Amino acid sequence: MSEPIEIAHRESSVLRISVRTAAIMLAFTLVFTALMAGTYRVTEPLVAASALTEKLRLIGEVLPPGHYDNDLMADAITLSPQKALGLNEETRLWRARKGGEPAALVLEAAALDGYSGRISLILAVDVEGHMLAQRVTAHKETPGLGDYIDPKKDRNKTRPWITQFSNLGFDTVPQKKWKVKKDGGRFDQMSGATISARAVTNASGRALAWAVEHRDKLFALPANSRFEESKP
Amino acid sequence: MSAYKDIAWNGIWKQNTILAQVLGLCPLLAVSSNLVNAVSLGLATIVVMMLSNFAISALRAFIPYEIRIPVFILIIAALVTGIDLAFNAFLHDLYMVLGIFIPLIVTNCIVLARVEAFAAKNGLRAATFDGLMMGVGFVWVIGLLGAVREFVGQGTLFSGIEMIFPQLSGIQILPVEYPGFLIAMLPPGAFFVLGLLIAGRNWLDSRANQRTREQRIHHQADHANSVPA
């Protein structure tokens, strides 16, 4: 007699427990997601400010102050997302001039094929098409293995890996030799961590080619204007 | 007080996360290629383990048993994300050096293991202390592993310390011409050294066991001699 009632009772209690548990899970998810979002909102401007300071410091590293006499921060243009540079977002490009004459371009690029994803680069290319220097600005390569692409982590302090690109152009290293030695190119890599070096080398080659190709147009644009990819 | 002594002894030796539980191998093997990286990751892990144990112990009354694992993971992930962001915003210089290690901590299952095995069943103070001690146990082993690998692999110790303390620099122990021993720097080297460390711990433990056993037999023998039947 009482059996069907009991089953119904048990079923309803199972349902009730499930709903209660789901509600608690939902509550935890909402609270902790809100906490994360709040932390993000609070820290975002601070993070952006320190990223900008860091960028200015890096520009100083790739472009020695003696190479230009204009106000670099004022003489900048915005680039639309440039696939050739590995970029999916707008970036700034700074134009260095000396005595009013074009001297160098400072631009950002990215390698999307690092060992652990994206490697961000900043590089300076002078008006003759030589890469003055480049630096890695952000990466997630394996600590102690692939992170030698960042000179701060490179064990070779006198001649860090990244400095071998300095002052080279396609006149000294042909474009098809702009690869790591393992791929038949000109540049060293460290055994056991070729992927990081390959990603940086190939991305810097692409960026140099892009800078050389668009150099005249980039220098000609008025300050604070926007460079759109020229449709072929 | 002896409960706290037990927690400390468990963390540092008996239930050592690496040597006894063999947990958290992913960050362990990835970051132990030199001493400075290893200790940096270890210190960050201590902070996360203390906070996660504290948080879960505080919230344990509200977490239903059936969904404890997803809730734990949610809380740990939120904590680590928060630490990562706060570090980046308020301690940017240090973040440039240690920042890469913080997301790696999420991959360390020891954090979840301690939350599940200890924090969910114990009070705030004991749980936080357990997080600290498990972290200390993690630091000394990963530090030793990093030191051995760095020494064998490149003949130095403390390389990279200048990123944390600019006035210091790494020590070249073997001659500069030392060609290095690449395998020590690669993941297989981490497994070899870790295997040797675990073997060393087992050897020490079995020796200690044998000694207590021998002492007991001696005792019994003395006893038998002194009191003839």
pLDDT at B83: 85
Mind listing the pLDDT tens digit for each residue in B191-223? 999 999 999 999 999 999 999 888 888 887 777
pLDDT at A45: 93
pLDDT at B162: 73
Confidence of residue B229 (pLDDT cuts 50, 70, 90): very low
- Helix then strand count (H, E) for chain B reads 10, 2
pLDDT at B140: 94
Average pLDDT over residues B84-95: 82
The pairing of strands A226-227 and A168-169 is unpaired
Please list, in sequence order, all residues whose beta carbon lies within 8 angstroms of the beta carbon of residue A165, skipping any fewer than 6 positions away.
A131, A133, A134, A187, A201, A204
Average pLDDT over residues B59-67: 91
User: Shortest CB distance from A143 goes to which of B85, B92, B100?
Assistant: B100
Distance CA B191, CA B197 (A): 10
A51: closest chain B residue by CA = B92
Q: Is A29 exposed, middle or buried (0-12, 13-18, 19+ CB in 10 A)?
A: middle
As a whole number, the mean pLDDT across chain B is 85
pLDDT at A146: 84
Residue B147 scores a pLDDT above 90: yes
Tokens of A194: 């070729």
Instruction: Walk along chain A (232 residues) in steps of 10 and give the mean pLDDT of each run.
Output: 62 86 94 94 91 83 89 88 90 91 93 91 93 89 80 82 92 92 91 89 94 93 84 46
Query: Nearest-CA distance from A145 to chain B in Å?
Result: 7
Confidence of residue B95 (pLDDT cuts 50, 70, 90): confident
Residue A73: strand, helix, or coil: coil
For residue A19, how many other CB atoms are within 10 A of its CB?
10
Q: Chain A neighbours among B 30-49 (CB < 8 Å)?
A: 30-31, 33-34, 37
Give the DSSP letter of residue A141.
P
pLDDT at A8: 66
pLDDT at B225: 67
Query: Nearest-CA distance from B163 to chain A in Å?
Result: 7
Distance CA A97, CA A170 (A): 22
Number of domains in chain B: 1
DSSP string, B38-83: HHHHHHHHHHHHHHHHHHHHHHGGGS-GGGHHHHHHHHHHHHHHHH
Q: Which residue numbers of A have CB closer than 8 Å to B's CBs? A: 20-21, 24-25, 28-29, 32-33, 35-36, 39-40, 42-43, 46-47, 50, 54, 140, 142-145, 147, 152-153, 155, 191-192
Residue type (1 letter), A96: A
pLDDT at B226: 63
Q: What is the pTM of this model?
A: 0.69
Confidence of residue B68 (pLDDT cuts 50, 70, 90): very high
What is the span of the domain harbouring residue B168? 2-226
